[in-house]
Chain A
Amino acid sequence: MTTNSLYFVNWWTDTLIIGGLSIVTWVALLAFHHSADAQPIFWFALVLSLVVNYPHFSATVYRLYQSPDNIRQFPVTAWGLPLILFGAVAASLWQPGAIAPYFLMLFLLWSPYHYSGQTIGLTMVYARRAGFPIGRRERMALSAFVFSAFVCGVIRFQQTGSSGGFTDFYGMSVPAFPLPDWTEAAAQAVMWTGALVFVGFAFVWCFGEKRLMPPIVLLPALTHFVWFVPGASLKSFWIVVPFFHSLQYLLIALVMQLKVRIDVVRGEHSWRRIGAEARRWGSRNILGGILLFIGLPAAFSWLPLPLMTIAGILAAAVNIHHFFVDGVIWKLRDTATSSALMMNIAELAGPGAVDLTRPKVVEA
């Protein structure tokens, strides 16, 4: 195993994007941002949304709908699900007081759950790259840690972000999800047990292999912990958590896209080509994100509702669609996906890049 093959790009880039940057931001906000007014950070996050958050949704849509093969392979996700979501959006717009709050509540619960799924996926990818096998027991311990942290986060977000039992979302009052007082203590107990067991497995592996586990393997889970446990009580921080989640996603999605475009099409293998493909993909996704989150609400602005209400409901629908599509297109058990997730970007720059999408052919 080369040093590079542990990372998608290199130590610095992967460490910063996967969690380093968000942990540094949390520490900085904790140390220097003492104002209760989170408005400046909100506006900053909104600007970042245009170039990171919105494109991350667009990247999923692009990945699913860019090829007719994908649409044929996943017809319910490509056609059936948008129809159902269109129905939910129509019902929410028709009854913004009776149905929309529940639709938004569902989205606000699903979103951190989705982040948890990404954390587990990233840990699995880096563990596989490091040669640390994640079997059923390891995965159970990791899931216990990650999903309990998610429950803690939901409780803390509501404590920090809601007033009078309601959370503000795009100017709408979404009811806080009611839970008994002991839930957080129970979730913390499960979370720490899961963490201890997983770290135990990591220690056993280190002793067996006589080497240290690369920190990048544990970084996604540590980052997730910072986002959902200590970070969830800091409003100025959790405003930017979606940005960091999207950043993680874009790194992986970019590598996947480059793999599809450069390796499979069998074009020129060079950094120049990588740069051109990345710019092309990035600009398309920025445009797609603007269409999804600004263009789509503008198209419905003729409805007799505040534009923010329309934008909030549509944003929830785009998010939920993303959660489904993500689950479909990023399954590690899929050979093409898992092999692409094992590569380093430099492999695409050299002429001798290995065609990892067809390992069985190579073996044969």
Chain B
Amino acid sequence: MRNTVAGIVLAMFAGSARAADVAAGACDPVLATPREAFLAAGIAAMIACGVTSFFLAGRVSERTHVALAMLVVLVGGFCLFTLFGLVGREIPVAGSLVLLGVIGLFKLMNQFEIRRKPSRSDK
């Protein structure tokens, strides 16, 4: 069973791996494709959110930290969407999974920077 799951995951990411092969010689940032440059910018944005959260530790509310974490999810989700958004054209079932993922992202973003119920550890 574990081998099957591993096989499916490998098969799903094979396309991305091929993209990495093509770009293997592209260590020079000038040679990066526009999509790679965009992904790099996305990673930079996620790092910026994380660093902001780190430096604001103790100075802002938990709600603000959670909102910054959700920005990381949003940026990461959009980066993945640019990579796999149209995977359903090749694998229809994967299209449904992408839709579910996108709905999950929307649902999560619906909780953005709102007052949260205190957790048990806060009581």
Q: CB-nearest residue of chain A relative to B68?
A: A76
25 contacts between A and B (CB under 8 A): A76-B64, A80-B52, A80-B67, A87-B41, A95-B38, A98-B34, A98-B38, A99-B34, A99-B35, A102-B78, A102-B81, A110-B106, A175-B85, A177-B95, A178-B87, A179-B95, A179-B96, A180-B92, A181-B92, A183-B96, A324-B109, A327-B109, A328-B112, A333-B115, A334-B115
- Across-interface contacts of A244 in B (CB, < 8 A): none
Whether B88 sits at the interface, judged by CB under 8 Å, is: yes
Report B69-92 CB contacts with A as 1/0, cut-off 8 Å: 001001100100110011111001
Say yes or no for B102: interface residue by CB 8 A criterion: yes
Residues of B within 8 A of A323 (CB): 106, 109
Residues of A328-345 at the interface with B, using a CB-CB cut-off of 8 Å, are 328, 331, 333-334
Tell me which residues across on chain B come within 8 A of A105, comparing CB atoms: 81, 85
- Interchain nearest-CB distance for B33 vs A (Å): 8
Are B93's CB and A331's CB within 8 A?
no
Are A178 and B89 CB-contacts (below 8 A) given A77-B112, A87-B45, A327-B114?
Answer: yes
Assembly CA distance A7 to B37 (angstroms): 53
Q: How far is the CA of A195 from the CA of B64 in the complex (A)?
A: 37
Partner of A179, one of B38, B82, B92, B113: B92
Give the complex CA separation of A180 and B89 in angstroms. Answer: 9
Select one of B38, B41, B114 contacting A328, CB under 8 A.
Answer: B114
> A215 within 8 Å of B by Cβ?
no
Chain A contact-residue range equals 35 or more
A-facing residues in B26-45 (Cβ within 8 Å) = 34-35, 38, 41, 45
Q: Tell me whether A75 and B109 are in contact (CB under 8 A).
A: no
Asked if A109 is at the interface of the complex by the 8 Å CB criterion, the answer is yes
Query: Is B103's beta carbon under 8 Å from chain A?
Result: yes
Given contacts A178-B88, A327-B110, contact A84 B82 (CB under 8 A): no
A88 touches B (CB below 8 Å)? yes
**Cβ-closest chain A residue relative to B100:** A151
- 5 closest A-B pairs (Cβ-Cβ)? A178-B88, A180-B92, A76-B67, A178-B95, A102-B82
Cβ contact of A331, chosen from B60, B74, B86, B115, cutoff 8 A: B115
Specify which chain A residues have a CB less than 8 angstroms from the CB of B89 in the assembled complex. Answer: 165, 178
Question: What are the interface flags for B42-65 relative to A under an 8 Å C-beta threshold, 1 for contact and 0 otherwise?
Answer: 000100010010000000100010
Number of B residues near A (Cβ < 8 Å) is: 38
CB contacts (< 8 Å) of A84 on chain B: these are 45, 71, 74-75
**B113 to A177, Cβ gap below 8 A?**
no
- List the interface of chain B (C-beta within 8 A of A): 34-35, 38, 41, 45, 49, 52, 60, 64, 67-68, 71, 74-75, 78, 81-82, 85-89, 92-93, 95-96, 98-99, 102-103, 106, 109-115
> Which residues of chain A come closer than 8 Å to B64, judged between CB atoms?
75-76
| Complex: chain A residue closest to B85, CB-CB | A102
Q: Which of A76, A84, A334 has the most CB of B within 10 A?
A: A76
CB of B86, distance to nearest CB on chain A (Å) = 6
B110 & A98 in contact (Cβ 8 Å cutoff): no
B3 CB to closest chain A CB (Å) equals 26
Closest chain B CB from A347 CB (angstroms): 27
Give A323 to B60 CA distance when docked, in angstroms: 24
CB distance from A93 to the nearest CB of B (A): 12
Enumerate chain B residues within 8 angstroms of A180, measured Cβ to Cβ: 88, 92-93, 95-96
- Asked if residues A177 and B99 are in contact (CB atoms below 8 Å), the reply is yes
CA distance A74 to B61 in the complex (A): 10
Distance in Å: Cβ of A25 to nearest Cβ of chain B? 27
A94 CA / B86 CA spacing, docked (Å): 21
Q: Give CA–CA (A102, B115) in the complex, Å.
A: 31
- Contact between chains at A81 and B81 (CB < 8 Å): no
- Whether B109 pairs with A147 at a CB distance below 8 angstroms is no
What is the CB-to-nearest-CB distance from A327 to chain B, in angstroms, rounded to a whole number? 5
How distant is the Cα of A102 from the Cα of B80 in the complex, in angstroms? 10
A113 close to chain B: CB less than 8 A? yes
**In the complex, A117 has a CB within 8 A of chain B:** yes
Residues of B within 8 A of A74 (CB): 113
Partner of A75, one of B45, B60, B99: B60
Q: How far is the CB of A129 from chain B (nearest CB, A)?
A: 23
Say yes or no: A88-B67 contact (C-beta < 8 A), given A177-B99, A327-B109: no
Q: A95-B38, A105-B85 are in contact. List 12 more A-B contacts (CB 8 A).
A: A80-B67, A80-B71, A98-B82, A99-B82, A110-B106, A179-B95, A180-B92, A180-B93, A183-B96, A324-B109, A331-B114, A331-B115
